[in-house]
Structure 1
Amino acid sequence: MAGLTAAAVAAVCFLAYQASANVPADLKEKPRTPATAAPSISPSGGPKQPTADPLAVPANSGTGERVVYALADRRVWLVDAKGKATRTFPVMPSTVDPAPGTYGVTSRSGSVRGSDGVQIEHVVRFATAQDVAIGFSAAVDGSMPSPDPTKKTGGVRMKRADGDALWMFAVIGAKVVVVA
């Protein structure tokens, strides 16, 4: 069954590539220049200012291979030794945040029950704050609900596929950089 699924996915990807490579010139999207770009309106009603690439690795996150966790963006980047993001994904922060700074992965657990009672997997712990262990994890049921604000929790939740990628990337001692 898995072989058939893999073959079907490969066939769809190949056909999509062929289709995109053979789009007639008159149907291809033409790059917009700033003078012809459609105006954008901000929530306040004024023109929206162009922003940097929201998926770019934060500039103040150090160098080398690392996991970057941006508190305000609720996002994690897996960054290779050359400083290039190999993956980025949204996360649901816990109720207790680590202070911005550089940490190392201190422990990992394949499967445990989280402090919120949810069964979790691929737990990667890297900090302690307010006597709470802080770490990345994915709920086995795939959920990413907002944590109960009345409880002190340290689980930074992500989707299971993202949890798998982080688990493979962030071994004991791996650098984790937390930015505001």
Structure 2
Amino acid sequence: MARSSSGIVAGLTVAALAAIGFLGYQASATAPAHPQKAVAQTPSPAPSASGAAKADPAKPVAVPAGSGTGMRVVYSIGLKRVWLVDAAGQEPKSFTVMPSTVHPAPGSYTVGNRTGTVTGSDGVPIEHVVRFASTQGITVGFSARVDNTLPEPDPGKKTGGVRMTRTDGDAMWAFATIGTKVVVVS
């Protein structure tokens, strides 16, 4: 009896190890080539005083009215959101951002300068810097932290970096070349 039950246990152990090995292989086959650190989530804007329902995350967020026409980057300070609007009328790419402590006035600007990698005014390594405005002596631009985090900016420092994830920074870099219009809305 001991001999047959030990054979069953050994068979079950082999089957369990094979299943674990197969599941491990499946997991490694679908893992990203370059895993990124978790990104701090930007809180969603609170519903308005009128009690409007929270936006459905599955539905695209509409480009703000009055933000112009044609190819442009639209940056809403209040919504903490950017839209990359092309001239072909396709659904714009939109994503949340972490605004800096210094904001440009609402209006139309132009991308005037770009830098691949640099240290930000807050002392952290950043990439895909797309500069478009200057206010209070501070240059304002879009960028992504190399560590892929989106912390709240230090309110005691005057900084102009509008931060986004590295993936969104890649999209901004490809879209917003020198001369691209940037429309800032409240």
| Contact 1:108-1:125 at 8 Å conserved across structures | yes
**How do residues 19-168 of structure 1 correspond to structure 2 at under 5 angstroms?**
48-49=51-52, 55-168=61-174
- Runs of 4+ aligned structure 1 residues displaced above 4 Å come to 50-54
Q: Report how many aligned residue pairs link the two structures.
A: 142
Kept after mapping to 2: 8 A contact 1:102/1:175: yes
On the 8 A contact 1:78/1:85 being kept in 2, the answer is no
Q: Is 64-73 or 81-90 further displaced after alignment?
A: 81-90
With normalisation by structure 1, the TM-score equals 0.72
Kindly provide the CA deviation profile for residues 82-139 of structure 1, in whole angstroms up to 9, marking residues without a partner as x: 4544310000000000000000001000000000001000000000010000000000
Question: Matched residues in 2 for 1:114 and 1:142: separation?
Answer: 14
Q: How much has 1:60 moved relative to structure 2?
A: 1.1
Q: For residues 121 and 72 of structure 2, what CA distance do their matches in structure 1 show? A: 26
**Counterparts of 2:69 and 2:75, CA distance in 1:** 14
1:170 aligns with one of 164, 176, 184: 176
C-alpha change, 1:155 and 1:82, in structure 2 (3 Å) is: same
- Between the two proteins, what is the percent identity of the paired residues? 61
- Gapped runs of 5+ residues in structure 1? 10-41
SS of the residue corresponding to residue 134 of structure 1 reads: strand
Structure showing greater radius of gyration is 2
TM-score (norm 2): 0.69
Deviation at 1:50, TM superposition (A): 5.4
